[in-house]
Structure 1
């Protein structure tokens, strides 16, 4: 077991020398960087060893050891007994032979993304970067490349902001299903991949029942601070397990370390958190696969995926449409948020053609309508319409599709943008918030145009402002520029 005392001491001394301490009252003096509030749209990347089996989801590493699960039965059928072929045995086939960081970055740029967040380490414990803290890493095994380092350079070369995510906190219980039988995960030769294994609580969201050891917590802190030292990410994303009460003091230490490094090295650092791991003013609140039902007073983020079925690459993905993703982006931005959209590359390093097509369709839309998204701020109300959006995680595929009556607003200076989230069949858009007698629009409308088209016909009365759109056959939302 590694002794992290010297590394922890170094981290604590570095915190003492910066403007932020690990006390919550100090972290609450943090201000979200302007680049983040202006960016609005980023790309998330789940890529790792789990792309080799490419079955069911990126949680294959856990579920393959869960007796009776689909992944367990699939593993027996395809690879044999777990003791003879365990998760570690997928690593040699994770070759990434077609991985081209510059090609990926060019695609994300074409998609209109302003920031990119690859997963540096997922729950499975395999690091996608060069490190001496973990021999199970992409430089020493599998691809034999510093994937995160290559992506950092390529993303910055395209003038996008580089971030990363770590799921190390979830690793400590991720393989615990293999403890119940002779699965091979207790082999001491592989203890540094599968362990140290903490028995997870019944129900993984009952995270307060778990009691990670001091060594696990120090291991997490040292590994995550190493990512800051090596790559200086402007955004760091954590999954939900840092909500565990034992983790929270270490999370505050990490936040102080990241923010201080951002100040020292002059990059606007931001940190995402879920649920109540931190306070709203100490970091940027993130909702997984979910949104807000109103304007949130502080900048926030929705992380979701192109696929409805998995974050990592699997066969037979169930995809969202580019139209629905653009509508979600508009809805999120109207409520003071950003959208972080995930893709899952194959094990060979290629991004599936369907993912590429969707990203390029989004990019084409943003090329025309981006001024209604980038650099904007919420209006006095987010929008109007019949479709109800619930606040909270895992809700974005459990509501009705947006309609042409669902309209969202953004502003930039004196300009107001109104965006119907679907196209109406007759081309007529009625905006009730812009009626003559509306409290929301006290100033006179002088002009309305559609981005990518030009001026459009419109009229205003005491009930609504009615806009007559050109019939161009597009199924994408449009953006109306109102002055």
Structure 2
């Protein structure tokens, strides 16, 4: 199908479907129940940038900035960019150890409910078969439809398949290579790997340096092609789609995708950042950060097992599994979901550090998952002295929680109270559940501690619900299961 025919197909789907390309119509969107119940997903950054495994997934941009550490590294290892450019990594990307079934089994053991591979990153190399560009993994590199293999493997494990597109930023991502003698040279035309490589804009300017109509139509068709070929249940967008030029095309894509979900009989959702959407038309995402308080709307955090990079690098600074589990509990208590990123190596193998973290999370969820999955928020998200810093890019420092930091979730008549840092003396005080509390004045029928045979002792006074254990020990959060009556 040529581009004009595809654009006509998009318009016809919008015309004939329930959803139209305006905010009023898109506000009829409802978050799928499966998504609200899933709570934990896996994000995957894997591509050409995994070959140098240096700096970050922005290697394709940074290697063309003279004087940057990525540029100096590239000179030392691969040579000058005019002789060895980013495109020359394509033949090196063979994915020779990639086994989608092994990945799916690992993610299942980790306790994930949905998986979201990056289909196309800012570098413009597609991890799937495409009619829009020859620069994809079916025609080049491994000569395999990696996305198709992942979809089949994940769905076999009953993991919900999702995708992300970071294509929007390709408008400017390769532009620095035009500033000196590199392999990025004019003229560049649609279909070229480096096209369009336009000057990088001020990222705080929502109106300046708008992409051309040609680029925006190309972006729209690429996104719709992903929808048509792979039927993802969530479609994640990275930043820069919030700029003014993208708005009409973003609305068209949303209407097209939501209408396709209606055709499939399967509810779908979109993730966005930076107020790219009107609230209520899609699911907001907080990159590498959290909300400080409970939100009345469903939201998502996307973060990574490593603090320094989304992709695999040889010197990744990893978080601990316990740290990630505490964040998961905090996010879920505030009506959110955690999308946790890993970075496979270029050959398709999962680094040991990533694997160990995922398995540790899965081990905790095997015991405590009932306090996470299929739950909803309580009257308050929790209590305690530790304040979680709100906003994006706030996960660089490990949060130090105390035994007074409690998070609540609820399912039917069961209230779960998760202690983020369990005290050595085994005594926990839940102030929100004291007698005559304005949060809860009902009856507590029974209290259990998940994962332990010990029956805790408990006493409810005007100051707190006090729970005492003798043999409960863990560096990870401990969950009390309260049966209410």
TM range (shorter): over 0.9
| Paired position in structure 1 for 2:16 | 17
Question: More displaced, 213-222 or 402-411?
Answer: 402-411
| Paired position in structure 2 for 1:160 | 159
TM-score normalised by L of structure 1: 0.97
Aligned-pair distance for 1:16? 1.1
Q: What SS is found at the alignment partner of 2:458?
A: strand
For residues 179 and 340 of structure 1, the distance between their equivalents in structure 2, rounded to whole angstroms, comes to 36
Aligned-pair distance for 1:353? 0.8
| Paired position in structure 2 for 1:318 | 317
| Paired position in structure 1 for 2:458 | 458
Change (3 A) 1:126 1:361: same
Question: More displaced, 189-198 or 104-113?
Answer: 189-198
For residues 183 and 206 of structure 1, the distance between their equivalents in structure 2, rounded to whole angstroms, comes to 28
For residues 205 and 398 of structure 2, the distance between their equivalents in structure 1, rounded to whole angstroms, comes to 26
TM-score normalised by L of structure 2: 0.97
Change (3 A) 1:372 1:210: same
The answer on whether the counterparts of 2:45 and 2:341 sit within 8 Å (CA) in structure 1 is: yes
Change (3 A) 1:189 1:201: closer
Q: What SS is found at the alignment partner of 2:407?
A: strand
Indicate whether 1:199 and 2:199 are aligned. Answer: yes
Q: What is the total number of aligned residue pairs between the two structures?
A: 481
Aligned-pair distance for 1:451? 1.1
| Paired position in structure 2 for 1:52 | 51
For structure 1, list consecutive stretches of 5 or more residues without a partner in the other structure. none
Where do 1:378-389 residues align within 5 Å? Answer: 378-389=377-388
The answer on whether the counterparts of 1:387 and 1:406 sit within 8 Å (CA) in structure 2 is: yes
| Paired position in structure 1 for 2:482 | 482
| Paired position in structure 1 for 2:259 | 260
For residues 322 and 205 of structure 2, the distance between their equivalents in structure 1, rounded to whole angstroms, comes to 36
The answer on whether the counterparts of 1:388 and 1:399 sit within 8 Å (CA) in structure 2 is: no
Q: What SS is found at the alignment partner of 1:481?
A: strand
The answer on whether the counterparts of 1:389 and 1:399 sit within 8 Å (CA) in structure 2 is: no
For residues 259 and 451 of structure 1, the distance between their equivalents in structure 2, rounded to whole angstroms, comes to 40
Aligned-pair distance for 1:469? 3.1
For residues 98 and 7 of structure 2, the distance between their equivalents in structure 1, rounded to whole angstroms, comes to 35
Aligned-pair distance for 1:144? 1.0
RMSD (CA atoms): 1.4
For residues 10 and 322 of structure 1, the distance between their equivalents in structure 2, rounded to whole angstroms, comes to 46
The answer on whether the counterparts of 1:201 and 1:207 sit within 8 Å (CA) in structure 2 is: no
Indicate whether 1:407 and 2:406 are aligned. Answer: yes
Deviations along 1:79-101, one digit per CA (max 9) or x if unpaired, are 11110000011111111000000
Question: More displaced, 398-407 or 51-60?
Answer: 398-407
Deviations along 1:310-369, one digit per CA (max 9) or x if unpaired, are 000100110011101000000000000000000000000000011111101100111111
For residues 80 and 159 of structure 2, the distance between their equivalents in structure 1, rounded to whole angstroms, comes to 45
Deviations along 1:262-283, one digit per CA (max 9) or x if unpaired, are 1111112110011111012100
Indicate whether 1:222 and 2:221 are aligned. Answer: yes
Q: What SS is found at the alignment partner of 1:448?
A: strand
Q: What SS is found at the alignment partner of 2:214?
A: helix
For structure 2, list consecutive stretches of 5 or more residues without a partner in the other structure. none
The answer on whether the counterparts of 2:46 and 2:345 sit within 8 Å (CA) in structure 1 is: yes
| Paired position in structure 2 for 1:446 | 445
| Paired position in structure 2 for 1:468 | 468
For residues 408 and 106 of structure 1, the distance between their equivalents in structure 2, rounded to whole angstroms, comes to 30
Aligned-pair distance for 1:396? 2.1
For residues 408 and 37 of structure 2, the distance between their equivalents in structure 1, rounded to whole angstroms, comes to 16
The answer on whether the counterparts of 2:323 and 2:398 sit within 8 Å (CA) in structure 1 is: no
Q: What SS is found at the alignment partner of 1:446?
A: strand
For residues 370 and 456 of structure 1, the distance between their equivalents in structure 2, rounded to whole angstroms, comes to 20
Q: What SS is found at the alignment partner of 1:315?
A: coil
